[in-house]
Amino acid sequence: MSRSITYDEKRGILRLDTRNTTYAIGITDGLYLGHLFYGPHLPEEDFSVRSAFQRPLSALENKKEMCIFMDSFNFEYPGWGVGDSREGAIRVRDSKGITRTNLLYQGHRISSAKTLIPGLPSTFGGEGDVETLEVDLQDPDTGLFVTLFYSVFAECDVIARRVEIRNTGKEKLVIERALSMSMDMPGRDREGRSFQLMTFYGIWAREFTKDIRPLGFGKTGVSSIVGKTNNRNQPFLGLLSEGATQYSGEVYGMNFLYSGNFASTVEKIFSGDLRVSMGIHPEGFSWTLEPGEVFYTPEAVMTYSDEGISGMTHHFHDMFRKHLIRGKYKDSKRPILINNWEATYFDFDTKKLLDIAKTAHDCGIEMLVMDDGWFGRRNDPDSSLGDWFVNEEKLPGGLKYLSDELEKMGMKFGIWFEPEMVSPDSDLYRAHPDWAITVPGREAALSRNQLVLDVSRADVRDYIIESITKVLSSAKIAYVKWDMNRHLSDLFSAELPPERQGELMHRYVLGVYDLQERLLKAFPDLLLENCSSGGARFDPGMLYYSPQIWTSDDTDAYERIRIQEGAATLYPLSCLGAHVSICPNHVTGRVVPFETRGHVALAGTFGYELDITVLSDEEKELIKKQVKLFHRFNDLIRNGDYYRMHSYQDNRLFDCYGVASKDKSEMLLTMLHVMNQPCCPSRWIHIHGLAPDKLYRITEVKDEPEDSNHASLDGSEAAKASAQEILAHGSTLSNMGINLPCRTGDFMSVLYHIVEVKDAGESVEG
């Protein structure tokens, strides 16, 4: 087997090759680590062709122009204050207050393994899945020793990057900036066109809005300084060649495996070239590094596609499914759940929950999730967070009685927590006011009438995990929804000395990771779903602990079309928490057909958010049919490749996407006719993701599943039973397209099952 990482000692070039890409690093004058190339896979050749006609300034031969060299060199991980006017990746202050950081090459190692990062989420892989390059750099004046890690996942076309920073000197150092990756690259694609920037922005109930804009000169990007990733910006950055589409053009994608403050930045300089960087946001950040200590940056993942946005999407989906998500539910179907929040809010008791569960079970739903309001004296949002003991006035007999009754009827049981929060009106806060993140002597800024617990402290984490463990051990609980409904403010930790207060935000995130890791070790079969006012903490770091994340509190299917399109561009559909809710929708007031709500929720984990006991018999029958659709298609949706055909966000009329099996033998195509148009009985759709030379049957998915003969598509009469089926080759469906009928009315949807025809004797029909 060929290696993914090689070293050309004569030319001082390190190559990192995936299945379709090449990343190249050069060692200049034996001193500086430079970025040479990242893009499509290149044959073995001399990378010095880049400088064949004009040798750049040499750091050794022309020291009188050292600043010019530093300001024009394409660094792989730039330092600070040595002549480079662009923003550096690392800044460290020594005991004299000096921040000059000059990193020189010391050596490198190549291994066929990957180590996990202490205390942080990490991509993983066994031998054959991943190779790792470690490059050592050192500042000769301070004892600062930096190791760059590049882990190559060749089959996924992804490179994971991170940094370890060591203090090998005799005096303490203070890290003021420590990014996880940096890359200097040309600002124009192979045809000489400038790149565009793609990001995803939003707000509560409006997450994951796609934005593509030209790159101007100076610095641009996305960031967060509220203590978590937040719903306003994804930590992702995409660079798209001008005119790039879903299926053509160059795309660079970078995402950050971290759930705290981040900065994802592109800096465009006078030449048009770019410096791309990603890491912990330096604002308010500092970290004291005593002699002998190590600081670990979070990991960033990056990919390149010359097959448009869709290629990037597939790389990230495969990477996250295979090498980030862990645990029992990594590759398995999730139970269909019903959550009582929008059904009851705080007004429920055991009888109401069991009534919901019984009706849900009769419809094929598999789990009841009890949301906020079951603990302490919690009857509204103003009290009891932190008091994780059961309110037996609401729930006589406690959780054991409730879970036992659910088990008798064949239902699993799930529960909601908000472990990082504390209410001022709570037993916990009255006993330990110093456990909250507040500034002594100043009035705290409340949000939702709650404060944030200082989980950077070990004693606070011990209390939280002991409280949760006691609850989960008291009954048979299969699922936890971990919520977090405000950002951090009034930054001060009673346990940190003044000179270390800049460590609080990062220590907080490490504390959250520690809590969730301890929870999963104690309950390895638990299905954990993260949530933060919807998608305000939807990032790759959280996927290391929970295989799914609540995508948005907005469950309106109309809004979810756009939200889930944005999320699915980066994350597998199996990660997207998606439910069918009641209409008029509680967030928007919009009414969308029940069938459409089910079709949209299928492109996610699938569940229900409503009071099923008040539904009509007709609506309950629709739930039974939706449950059958879930069981029929979830393996395909969970494991297949996602293809975006049309975007309602772009055309404002309709939406179309498909999920194809890895072997391209079948696809589930979803058509959403959002706005009805007079005299528009059909839409012309080019279907991507199928094998060009295979013959396919396209059949509208009806309420009842196809019988086994039809599903096998063996050419039998049963396989031809549908009155609305079309036969065509994959190349025809992609290049010529197909005219698919629209349903009359707004917000109508249709599912089409596209399956390979095994009997080559069948003729192609129009």
Three-class SS of 541-601:
HHHCCCCEEECCCCCCHHHHHHHHHHHHHHCCHHHEECCEECCCCCCCCCCCCHHHHHHHH
Residue 627 lies in a domain: yes
Residue 762 lies in a domain: no
Residue positions counted in the chain:
766
**136: alpha, beta or left, given left = phi > 0 and alpha = psi -120 to 50?**
beta
My answer on whether 377 and 437 are in the same domain is yes
pLDDT in tens, 443-466: 999 999 999 999 999 999 999 999
The model's confidence at residue 627, banded by pLDDT at 50, 70 and 90, is very high
CB–CB of 577/532 below 8 Å?
A: no
pLDDT in tens, 330-375: 999 999 999 999 999 999 999 999 999 999 999 999 999 999 999 9
Q: Which of 323, 353, 382 is the last residue of a domain?
A: 323
686/683 Cα distance (integer angstroms): 10
User: How confident is the model at residue 38, as a pLDDT?
Assistant: 97
Sign of CA dihedral 213, 214, 215, 217: negative
User: How confident is the model at residue 710, as a pLDDT?
Assistant: 38
Buried b (16+ CB within 10 A) or exposed e, 486-511: bbbbbbebeebeeeeebbbbbbbbbb
3-state secondary structure of 696: strand
707/704 Cα distance (integer angstroms): 9
Sign of CA dihedral 38, 40, 43, 45: negative
CB–CB of 573/644 below 8 Å?
A: no
My answer on whether 484 and 627 are in the same domain is yes
* Residue 117 structure tokens: 């990062």
pLDDT of 721 strictly over 50: no
pLDDT of 141 strictly over 60: yes
My answer on whether 708 and 752 are in the same domain is yes
Enumerate the β-bridge partners of residue 238.
198, 253
For the chain, the average pLDDT equals 93
From 193-197, 285-289, 544-548, 624-628, the region with the lowest mean pLDDT: 193-197
pLDDT of 760 strictly over 60: no
Q: For residue 42, how many C-alpha atoms fall within 13 Å in the half-sphere facing its CB?
A: 14
Residue 465's H or E segment, with its range, is helix 458-473
The domain that holds 669 is classified in CATH as 2.60.40.1180
User: How confident is the model at residue 14, as a pLDDT?
Assistant: 96
My answer on whether 342 and 299 are in the same domain is no
| C-alpha distance across the termini of the chain, in Å | 46
My answer on whether 230 and 125 are in the same domain is yes
496/668 Cα distance (integer angstroms): 54
pLDDT in tens, 543-580: 999 999 999 999 999 999 999 999 999 999 999 999 99
User: How confident is the model at residue 412, as a pLDDT?
Assistant: 98
My answer on whether 442 and 578 are in the same domain is yes
The domain that holds 208 is classified in CATH as 2.70.98.60
pTM comes to 0.95
pLDDT of 314 strictly over 90: yes
My answer on whether 128 and 268 are in the same domain is yes
User: How confident is the model at residue 44, as a pLDDT?
Assistant: 76
pLDDT of 56 strictly over 60: no
Three-class SS of 97-117:
CCCCECCEEEEEEEECCCCCC
Residue 540 lies in a domain: yes
pLDDT of 705 strictly over 90: no
The domain total for the chain is: 3
pLDDT of 61 strictly over 80: no
Q: Which of 584, 612, 635 is the last residue of a domain?
A: 635
Instruction: Please report, as a single letter, which amino acid is at residue 406.
Output: L
Residue 558 lies in a domain: yes
What's phi and psi for 343, nearest 5 deg?
Answer: -80, -40
My answer on whether 356 and 441 are in the same domain is yes
Residue 330 lies in a domain: no
The domain that holds 603 is classified in CATH as 3.20.20.70
My answer on whether 520 and 373 are in the same domain is yes
pLDDT of 54 strictly over 80: no
Over residues 72-91, mean pLDDT: 95
pLDDT of 136 strictly over 90: yes
pLDDT in tens, 248-286: 999 999 999 999 999 999 999 999 999 999 999 999 999
The model's confidence at residue 513, banded by pLDDT at 50, 70 and 90, is very high
Q: Which of 262, 295, 323 is the last residue of a domain?
A: 323
Cis previous bond, 118, omega within 30: no
Residue 648's H or E segment, with its range, is helix 648-651
- Tokens 């099952």 found at: 753
What residues make up the domain containing 739?
643-756
- Tokens 């698919």 found at: 740
My answer on whether 371 and 310 are in the same domain is no
User: How confident is the model at residue 745, as a pLDDT?
Assistant: 77
232/225 Cα distance (integer angstroms): 11
Closest CA to 56 of 79, 36, 85: 36
My answer on whether 381 and 262 are in the same domain is no
Closest CA to 649 of 246, 155, 247, 169: 246
Over residues 634-644, mean pLDDT: 98
User: How confident is the model at residue 746, as a pLDDT?
Assistant: 81
Over residues 161-181, mean pLDDT: 98
Residue 80 lies in a domain: yes
pLDDT of 711 strictly over 50: no
Over residues 144-148, mean pLDDT: 98
513/519 Cα distance (integer angstroms): 10
CB–CB of 693/729 below 8 Å?
A: yes
Task: Give the residue numbers marked as catalytic.
Answer: 483, 553
Residue 764 lies in a domain: no
pLDDT of 706 strictly over 70: no
373/345 Cα distance (integer angstroms): 8
Residue 763 lies in a domain: no
User: How confident is the model at residue 189, as a pLDDT?
Assistant: 85
My answer on whether 506 and 576 are in the same domain is yes
Enumerate the β-bridge partners of residue 110.
133
Enumerate the β-bridge partners of residue 428.
none
For 678-693, give the DSSP string.
Answer: TT--EEEE---SS-TT
249/55 Cα distance (integer angstroms): 31
What's phi and psi for 536, nearest 5 deg?
Answer: -80, 0
Sign of CA dihedral 130, 136, 142, 143: positive
Enumerate the β-bridge partners of residue 644.
657
Residue bearing the bigger pLDDT, 742 or 268: 268
CB–CB of 643/689 below 8 Å?
A: yes
pLDDT of 139 strictly over 90: yes
Q: How crowded is residue 439: how many other Cβ atoms within 10 Å of its Cβ?
A: 12
434/578 Cα distance (integer angstroms): 38
